[in-house]
Amino acid sequence: MAEEVKVLRFWTSPFSGRVELALGLKGVSYEIFDEDLPNKKLSPLLLESSPIYKEVPVLLHNGKPVIGSMTIVEYVDDTWGNGHPIVPKDPYERARARYLASFIDDKIIPNFRKACWLEGEEQKRGMEETKENLKILEGEIKGKKFFGGDDIGLVDIAANYVAFWTGVVQKVTGVSLINEENHSNLLKWSQRFLSSDVVKGTLPDREELTALYQAARDAILAKKALSAN
């Protein structure tokens, strides 16, 4: 039986990108279904597949839904076990990789977003937290090619936002958090990660993403100018 693999996603979402990257590393072909998030019109397929979260990404494997980006990444590794290994085999390394992936989801991404997109006290706190978070991540990657060793693994996939999205967000918002002086190892890792052809195939077009974020930024500034009048 031919396998049917569908990804319900949104093109700007790093979480969707993780799923595509895991499938790409395994050499699994999949069909993309882009949800209309800007107009908040979710497809019946998404609503039926993910009735609780109603979020992208969803993986549909032979019609069965798998939900949650890192859960999907682990599912892909479990299901197509013979390809590129993603989750470490050693129980302790595995637990540590899951912990670092949670750290990226619970701390790094939300704090980075706060630091770049919010204002006042919340932004300030976001910046302080991000500096601490990045220090930890810089320490984790120091002396290594990838977070799990010599090739892309679970934590690298979780950190795709750090490698790619942060650059675009910093450029558009003018906030500078990642720099050569303090994060030289993280920046080298980003370059290494982004030079992988499989990774490249899962990233949004940089110019299109920049234009979208710029429009969001302009809208925020226009609203602010209006409210000041």
What is the nearest approach in angstroms of its own copies to the Cβ of residue 57?
Answer: 13
Looking at the chain, list the stretches that DSSP marks H as alpha helix, in order from N- to C-terminal side. Answer: 14-26, 44-49, 69-79, 91-103, 109-117, 120-141, 154-158, 160, 166-173, 180-194, 197-200, 206-228
Nearest-angstrom CA–CA distance, 173 and 227: 20
Instruction: Check if the beta carbon of residue 141 is closer than 8 Å to that of residue 147.
Output: yes
Distance of CA 31 to the CA centre of its chain: 19
Rg from Cα positions in the chain: 18
Q: Which residue, 107 or 125, has its beta carbon nearer to its own copies?
A: 107
Q: Which residue, 16 or 213, has its beta carbon nearer to its own copies?
A: 16
Return the SS3 of 145.
coil
Instruction: Check if the beta carbon of residue 68 is closer than 8 Å to that of residue 16.
Output: no
What is the nearest approach in angstroms of its own copies to the Cβ of residue 85?
Answer: 15
What is the nearest approach in angstroms of its own copies to the Cβ of residue 84?
Answer: 16
Q: CA neighbours within 13 Å on the CB side: how many for 160?
A: 28
Q: Which residue, 99 or 128, has its beta carbon nearer to its own copies?
A: 99
What is the nearest approach in angstroms of its own copies to the Cβ of residue 25?
Answer: 16
Q: Which residue, 84 or 96, has its beta carbon nearer to its own copies?
A: 96
What is the nearest approach in angstroms of its own copies to the Cβ of residue 54?
Answer: 12
Nearest-angstrom CA–CA distance, 4 and 9: 16
Q: Which residue, 1 or 52, has its beta carbon nearer to its own copies?
A: 52
Residues that bind its own copies (CB under 8 A): 51-52, 61, 64, 66-68, 71-72, 74-75, 78-79, 91-92, 94-96, 98-99, 102-103, 107, 136
Q: Which residue, 70 or 209, has its beta carbon nearer to its own copies?
A: 70
What is the nearest approach in angstroms of its own copies to the Cβ of residue 52?
Answer: 6
Nearest-angstrom CA–CA distance, 105 and 159: 9
